[in-house]
Structure 1
Amino acid sequence: MADFMADPDLKDRFLNVLKGKAVDKVPALSVTQTGTLELMEKSGAAWPEANFNADKMADLALAAHKFAGLEAVRYPFCLTVLSEAMGCSINQGRRDVQPFPRTRPFAEDAENLELPSDLTDRGRIPLLVDVTSTLRKRVGEEVPLIAGIEGPASLASRLLGTYNFLTWVMKKPELIRRCLEVTGTACSEYSAVLSEAGADAVCIVDGIAGPDMLDPKHLASLIKPEYEHFYRVGKGMKLIHICGNSTSILKMLSECGFNGISIEEKVTDLPAAKKLIGKKVSLIGNLSSSGVLLTGTCEEVKNEAKKCLEGGIDILAPGCGIAPRTPLANLRALVDARDEFYNK
């Protein structure tokens, strides 16, 4: 039994958009992290505890839906769960800082990077499975659940070290290919257990794979095969978020099977972006998280949100992880803008 009432159309609307079907209005939600200081106060669940305690994580994840009106529950709030399970030591962060890896366990030993046979029993993966089951019970079947995970390139860069990863992509591509096969399989296995536990969508966040960091030709030769494999494994909707101006790789990403692609505000021409990805893939975003959402007024948020809607965005969402100090009123304004857009 759900512990609060929800719009019965939220999940159907979300899934239908991702299936390319017509909907009455664009969903307004986040596929990236949602923990903010105000939501921590309202929910009684704060970082760092809410990144490591199942009940607190569920409470804070629900808060963005209950108090801001975002039309999905997105969790967790960090991108370290797989990194930790694969061997990284994690700094737990603090109330306004997400956890982050402290070590690069395979920086000197990349040839021995292997997939643990007990991966899904390691670290916080069982905790995230519990959180997924808990959230499913608490929201019922009417609110979509979106789980976020590290992408294969980001995971490899944590395990090897970012400098090593970016250097070896050029100098040791076969080594990187083998490492990406391992991290890609890790992403797929983790995604599968989250889907089995009740997640409606899994969003891989792979910022280092974007053209701001990596030549698109390396994305095509080394990382794209892992995205294609990720799409084929397990059930549920598969989403990807890439940081920076991803315009030059949107077509390539659309060929991997993803149901939705999340973009930052640096992708400025939304009609052109939609043309690049075609009609089978939903475009998600792209309200500036570090700009208008964090520092703007409610009216400024609404104005920018309506520009996204006029540009043809399929799911209205922050263009990246929501900054912890983002005003709750601005998150509500994102949803209000969508409602005003359809009631004008």
Structure 2
Amino acid sequence: MKDYILSLLEGEETEENPCTSLAGCQGTTPVGVQEEAGIEWPAAHKDSQKMADLAIKSSDIIGIENVRVPFDACVEPEALGAEISWGSKQNDPYISGYPFSDNPEDVKVPEDLLELGRIPTVIEAIKEVQSNLDKDKPVSTTVIGPLTLVGELIGTEDLLRKTITEKDLIKELVERVTEIPQKLISRYYEAGADVVQVIEPSSSADMIPPNIFTEILQPHLSKISSEVDRPLILHICGNIEPILPAIMELDFDGVSLGSGININKAKKEASEGTKLLGNISPDTLSKGSPSKVKKEVSNAINQGIDFIEPDDGFVPVATLENVETMVKATKEKR
């Protein structure tokens, strides 16, 4: 399945739908999976061996067709000085203190970036997964896109406000930090990642106007994607329909769709060879019935989705029964 998945992201036609969790801000390890694996958050966020072991076990338990690390979206801001609250097995880590909230103009890329925070932990976890994985599955990982990363350094509310009141400053900061995902993408591939996703949750039409996306962020996402010749996916949470044309101008191999996005419309906008991933609702996976999960899987495939995935990854409270049903229902449609 690994070769087939990678061939799809290289532009081959979709003949059958993989069931993966390559995209999204959440990970692949809901509470039920952590408990069955015997490895839980927050310990698995901080230790490369536990991270790798939980990633492999979660893929085996659920049956999804990739293995993914890490399980949170705080790696880069922590490395640059953000304070992190680590949560619990039910709750994701989150930023509790922004390092440049009082002095945004001082944001810069450290020369020793790859040695800071948990970046070495993630690099080592990728290596350990590749060394210990005995299944034919791709290893995937995550980097934070430049606009969202600026928000995680100066404060998301400040970011959104300053895109209007201090646009030139935000332009400069986004340009400045674009080097961070570029460096991480290169290092993660070198460590053994097969697929990397760029997450940009702060750039949806729910967060910023479409013209801000095209003016401030699009050129830098283009720079990131055009310089990568390995499988690269873009994930933006929420409503992306107003910016779909701009997204499809970028050179990403896959684009993640939320559960509220019209697959048929996205399919019409998609560039030739660009694959669409999604879009099973987190509400359905956490609170719905298995029959509803099956229906959503069937609907997504019938509408032309390429990869069946949970919208934004598996939320911690997604039930093991529903997650397993999603995988089984996908495989039954082949």
TM range (shorter): over 0.9
Instruction: Tell whether the 8 Å contact from 1:288 to 1:318 is kept in structure 2 after alignment.
Output: yes
Q: 1:122 aligns with which of 110, 116, 132?
A: 116
Instruction: Tell whether the 8 Å contact from 1:192 to 1:235 is kept in structure 2 after alignment.
Output: no
> What is the identity, as a one-letter code, of the residue corresponding to 2:11?
G
- 1:46 maps to what in 2? 40
Asked if 1:203 corresponds to 2:197, the answer is yes
- 2:310 maps to what in 1? 318
> Could you tell me how far apart the structure 1 residues matched to 2:288 and 2:87 are?
26
Q: 2:281 aligns with which of 262, 275, 288?
A: 288
Q: Secondary structure at the match of 2:232?
A: strand
- 2:88 maps to what in 1? 94
Query: What's the CA shift string for 1:4-49, capped at 9, x where partnerless?
Result: xxxxxx1112111112212441111112311111111121110000
Aligned residues with identical type, % of pairs: 29
Query: What's the CA shift string for 1:46-74, capped at 9, x where partnerless?
Result: 00001111111112211231011100012
Unaligned runs of 5+ in 2: none
- 1:19 maps to what in 2? 10
Q: 2:241 aligns with which of 220, 238, 247?
A: 247
Q: CA RMSD in A?
A: 1.4
Deviation (angstroms), 1:183: 2.1
Query: What's the CA shift string for 1:116-149, capped at 9, x where partnerless?
Result: 0110111110111000000011125831111022
Q: Which segment is superposed worse, 75-84 or 134-143?
A: 134-143
Unaligned runs of 5+ in 1: 1-9
Instruction: Tell whether the 8 Å contact from 1:195 to 1:235 is kept in structure 2 after alignment.
Output: no
Asked if 1:192 corresponds to 2:186, the answer is yes
> What is the identity, as a one-letter code, of the residue corresponding to 2:147?
A
- 1:6 maps to what in 2? none
> Could you tell me how far apart the structure 2 residues matched to 1:307 and 1:256 are?
27
- 2:105 maps to what in 1? 111
Instruction: Tell whether the 8 Å contact from 2:197 to 2:234 is kept in structure 1 after alignment.
Output: yes
> What is the identity, as a one-letter code, of the residue corresponding to 1:305?
V
Q: Secondary structure at the match of 1:321?
A: coil
TM-score, normalised via structure 1 length: 0.93
Deviation (angstroms), 1:235: 4.7
TM-score, normalised via structure 2 length: 0.96
Indicate how the Cα distance of structure 1 residues 52 and 235 shifts in structure 2: closer, same or farther if over 3 A, else same.
farther
Instruction: Tell whether the 8 Å contact from 1:192 to 1:233 is kept in structure 2 after alignment.
Output: no
Q: 1:59 aligns with which of 53, 58, 74?
A: 53
Q: Which segment is superposed worse, 115-124 or 232-241?
A: 232-241
> Could you tell me how far apart the structure 2 residues matched to 1:315 and 1:230 are?
23
Q: Secondary structure at the match of 1:67?
A: helix
* Structure 1 runs, 4 residues or longer, greater than 6 Å off: none
Q: 1:170 aligns with which of 164, 186, 189?
A: 164
Instruction: Tell whether the 8 Å contact from 2:70 to 2:142 is kept in structure 1 after alignment.
Output: yes
Deviation (angstroms), 1:234: 4.6
Q: Secondary structure at the match of 2:309?
A: strand
Question: How many positions carry a matched residue from both structures?
Answer: 331
User: 1 or 2 for the larger relative contact order (CA 8 Å, sep ≥6)?
Assistant: 2
Deviation (angstroms), 1:88: 0.6
- 1:277 maps to what in 2? 270
- 1:328 maps to what in 2? 320
> What is the identity, as a one-letter code, of the residue corresponding to 1:337?
A
> Could you tell me how far apart the structure 1 residues matched to 2:38 and 2:183 are?
32
> Could you tell me how far apart the structure 1 residues matched to 2:266 and 2:55 are?
30
Indicate how the Cα distance of structure 1 residues 146 and 119 shifts in structure 2: closer, same or farther if over 3 A, else same.
same
Q: Secondary structure at the match of 2:62?
A: coil
Q: Secondary structure at the match of 1:258?
A: coil
> Could you tell me how far apart the structure 1 residues matched to 2:119 and 2:140 are?
15
- 2:212 maps to what in 1? 218
Asked if 1:146 corresponds to 2:146, the answer is no
Q: Which segment is superposed worse, 329-338 or 47-56?
A: 329-338
Q: 2:225 aligns with which of 228, 231, 236?
A: 231
Q: Which segment is superposed worse, 138-147 or 215-224?
A: 138-147
Q: Secondary structure at the match of 2:196?
A: strand
